[in-house]
Amino acid sequence: MSPIFNHRLRALIRKEFGEMRRDRRLALSLILPPTLQLLLLGFALSADVTNIKLGAVDDSRTPESRELIATLSESRTFRLVSYYASADKLGEAIGMGKVDAGVVIPYDYARDLQRGHRTTVQFLLNAMNANTAAISQGYAQGVIQIYNSGLRAGGLHANFAQIGAENVSRQGQAQLHPAYLYNPGLKDSWFIVTGVFGLLLILNSSLVAAASMVKEREAGTMEQLLMSPATTSEIIIAKVVPLFVLLSLTAVLSVAVMKLVFGVPFHDKLPLVLFGAALCILSGISIGTVNATFAKSAQQAQLMAFFINPPLNATAGALNPVEAMPKWLQPFTVVNPIHHFAVIARASMLKGSGFVDLWPNFLALLVITLVLGSLSVWRFRKQLS
């Protein structure tokens, strides 16, 4: 029998599984809530901006101005709420939150169009949410381009031909034909759920591991374990194994949700995803175990987790691209297990990348797990001595 997996360790693991079986709320909290959170966040978190409340000031009151407003409101991005008598009234409505955007059409709008002059339409945006305002501006510009194309199609165009002379005014045109690789349908949920997957694994594993270790100490049973022939490493391993098994079930259920509900492709890379999820879970458990060695109560462990998990989530690049973060903050992603698992999940699921392409991320997850695990054992021994 291997000295690592001996009878003492097996007895401790059976004891931990027995305690977990008696505490069924813990088992349910480790399996059902993370799966439901993945399901809800996959639908709730979206980069699409729709149903923006639109207000309009139409000083022109012509068919051309009404057509412009109709073009804006017919898109699913904007929803016309009301007309206003002046730009000041529209500004007040935006300030009060009655509308989120507004269009102001000048009095001479139709006359300038008919004369072929350039006319300016003012578009007001509530920029308290800068991201939403920028996306709305892009949508509005796209709608205006389509509207302008319709105007040009309905106008008169003069055609001049040179007789007896060679055409020397030829100009080429460049046209852009985008090809969307790895996500042809532009489903933003694929990007979101693969990032939320790692967030939930780290969050739940770290919180539950810290609570489990601190609970043992508060109950006074830690001293009884220390009086047993088991070593410190065996006690920690016995604590980790049941949590790892339950969190692995969470990972499997989350993968099923991503496939069945959101239709995320796998490209036959499911073993890679599960292996990365296992390393991610072990990293989270190691974070929670280290946290427990510094905390003296469950409340203190939860408070310390608030100073650990939010920075990990913010610097992971799980919900937003790493390139969008400040330059000085981007190097911190190297030591963030959520970031490495997000890269593994997205590259293997969406692109079909293999282990040859992703081995640096697997190696980083393994190193983070080993370092934190060794630190937890060292801290645990030092604390008991």
Number of domains observed in the structure of the chain: 2
Whether residue 190 sits in one domain with residue 66: no
Give pLDDT, residue 95: 84
Dihedral in degrees, nearest 10, Cα atoms 205, 207, 213, 218: -160
Whether residue 243 sits in one domain with residue 352: yes
Give pLDDT, residue 250: 87
Could you tell me the pLDDT band of residue 337, with boundaries at 50, 70 and 90?
A: very high
Structural domain includes residue 163 = no
Whether residue 117 sits in one domain with residue 254: no
Structural domain includes residue 153 = no
Structural domain includes residue 159 = no
Taking residue 40's Cβ as centre, other Cβ atoms within 10 Å add up to 11
196-228 residue pLDDT tens: 999 999 988 888 888 877 776 766 666 666 666
Structural domain includes residue 354 = yes
Burial 236-255 (b: 16+ CB within 10 A, else e): bbbbbebbbebbeebbebbb
Structural domain includes residue 166 = no
For the whole model, what pTM was predicted? Answer: 0.75
- Residue 56 pairs with which residues in a beta bridge? 83, 103
Whether residue 23 sits in one domain with residue 68: no
Whether residue 32 sits in one domain with residue 64: no
End position of a domain, from candidates 147, 171, 195:
147
Could you tell me the pLDDT band of residue 158, with boundaries at 50, 70 and 90?
A: very low
The domain that holds 72 is classified in CATH as: 3.40.1710.10
Strands (E), the chain: 52-58, 78-83, 101-105, 122-125
Share of the chain above pLDDT 90, in %: 12
Residues with Cβ within 8 Å of 149's Cβ and at least 6 positions away in sequence, in order, are: none
Whether residue 33 sits in one domain with residue 69: no
Whether residue 342 sits in one domain with residue 266: yes
Range of the domain at 64: 52-147
Whether residue 282 sits in one domain with residue 191: yes
266-302 residue pLDDT tens: 888 889 999 999 999 999 998 988 888 887 777 888 8
26-71 residue pLDDT tens: 667 777 778 888 888 888 777 677 788 889 999 988 888 888 888 8
C-alpha closest to that of 251 among 284, 277, 288 = 277
Task: Output the average pLDDT for the chain.
Answer: 80
SS3 string, 356-371, reads: HHHHHHHHHHHHHHHH
Q: Where are the alpha helices (DSSP H) in 220-297?
A: 222-227, 232-260, 270-294
- Mean pLDDT throughout 307-314? 86
Whether residue 30 sits in one domain with residue 68: no
Whether residue 299 sits in one domain with residue 323: yes
Least confident of 18-22, 150-154, 155-159: 155-159
Burial 166-190 (b: 16+ CB within 10 A, else e): eeeeeeeeeeeeeeeeeeeeeeebb
CA 164 to chain centre: 64
Give pLDDT, residue 340: 93
Least confident of 86-100, 137-151, 365-379: 137-151
Whether residue 61 sits in one domain with residue 27: no
